[in-house]
Amino acid sequence: MKKIKTALISVSEKKKLSKLLKTLSKYKIQIISSGGTFKKIKKLGYKCLEISKYTESKEILNGRVKTLHPKIYAGILSIRKNKSHDKDLKKNNFGKIDLVIVNFYPFEKSLENKTKHSKIIENIDIGGPAMVRAAAKNYNDVAVITNPEQYEELIRELNSNKSGTTLEFRQKMSEIAFTETAYYDGLISNYFNSKSKNIFPEKKIISGNLVERLRYGENPHQKAAIYSINKKLNIKQLHGKQLSYNNYNDIFSALLISKSMPKNTGTVIVKHANPCGVSINKNKFNSFKLALACDPTSAFGGIVSCNFNINKKLALELRKIFLEVIICNGIKKDALKILKNKKNLRIIDASKLNNNNLNSVSTLFNNFLIQTKDIFAFSKSNFEIVSKNKPNNQTLKNLIFAFNICRFVKSNAIVITNKDSTIGIGSGQPSRIDSCDIAINKMKRFYKEKLNDQIIAASDAFFPFVDGIEKLVQAGVSAIIQPSGSIRDKDIIKFANRTNTILVFSKTRHFRH
């Protein structure tokens, strides 16, 4: 047990101070403070000694240097049972500091507000993290508080122990403090890397805020939690039971596709992180029906992402099938009321989410892979028409739609479409020919229109042999889009010309593992 006799308070966030000060005053704990915190404490009516008077050293450099003084750090870092430390303190007339309450300059907030670089720099705290690290290192003797949310726990600790703190409490707060300083420095490091466009620096810091501890991971025997690099996910759960690890995985997969679609247009149905139906039909109701028609069997128990505001008519249709999650860009009140009748159905509003500056991170064996996301918007310049039979503007637009969906399907990926909707998807196969078979079988099983309508196919990478596009053409495909790069590209072009098939090459491939 360590009694608190002297506390140093220097906080950027000054809310909730009043109740804490009342407790410190009750136990006659001396308070040292500076700057705005000193003024706030005095305004609240409590006694406080200004740091400049305590150290007998004036603040300089417009407040940049005020707590950086040996009297402060000796008071925090001295080991109470060390006679040599006691001797040094007495020799220099330094006192001991038993409690450090600090939260940092709002660097993260300055980034969110997109202020000027010069202002962002001034929001880099120097003295605060230094004091916190010193107190956290000396947790055997000193308690450190880094967040106003911890004040209540500190008050309970002081009341339970008659102005003292337990080793268990100090160690817990030390652990939190080091995490806080690491997170803060990580933000600064990543800001400077971002400013210089250094995507892959020699040392990479990835940090996040805990959003929620999940019931379990992919399977019940695995533990899981979700963290956000931001302080929030920017998606809002409107209804339903707690989201699982797999739910989140599917939600992010669905949203990645949805956000690549035209604004307020399109429906995506996802199962096990793979799309099983997509449509960008401009009629919202028809968009869902067409996406569902691609593979209604796989859609059972899946996730539907509507890149638009859901209305009553669509809600009535959505409730007819079993779904785990429905994602929307807003929802009408009457539609929400209808869907809320399904107790466990999770309803997510993703209207505030954007897909800017996304990176993909994959971890294994204490290593991690990082890459930028494959989400750039396609244009006609990304493609080359290599067949004699040329697509008109609408056909080329349809080909690009198919190719866009294809890049979000696990490789090897084949996507078959008709106009603005998928009608067959083959995913995640070791062989591209197997993915062709799956996509074709899905189309034959579920696609009820006449096969003489224009059927389009997209592949996420080149066909290594002619047999892949031959199988697609035999199934009724009349236009194919694929990346170039095979040693047999010329043979594939010859086959396309021989069968009067439209063939378009992409300048980029789009594996997704």
Residues marked active site are found at: 137, 272
Edge-to-edge strand order for the sheet containing 99-103?
Answer: 49-50, 30-33, 6-11, 99-103, 143-145
322: CB partners within 8 A, 6+ apart? 300, 301
**What is the 8-class DSSP label of residue 82?**
-
Residue type, 182: A
Helix axes 467-474, 432-446, angle to 10 degrees: 10
Q: Where are the beta strands (DSSP E) in 263-329?
A: 267-271, 274-279, 302-306, 323-328
Terminal C-alpha separation, the chain: 54
Q: Which two tokens stand for residue 46?
A: 């409590």
Q: Which residue pairs from 490-494 have beta carbons closer than 8 angstroms and sit at least 24 positions apart in sequence?
A: 491/466, 492/463, 492/466, 493/386, 493/387
Q: How far apart are CA 238 and CA 302, in angstroms?
A: 18
Determine the Cα–Cα distance for residues 21 and 7; give it in Å rounded to an integer.
10
What are the angstrom distances between the C-alpha of 170 and each of 151, 156, 231, 425?
A: 13, 13, 26, 56
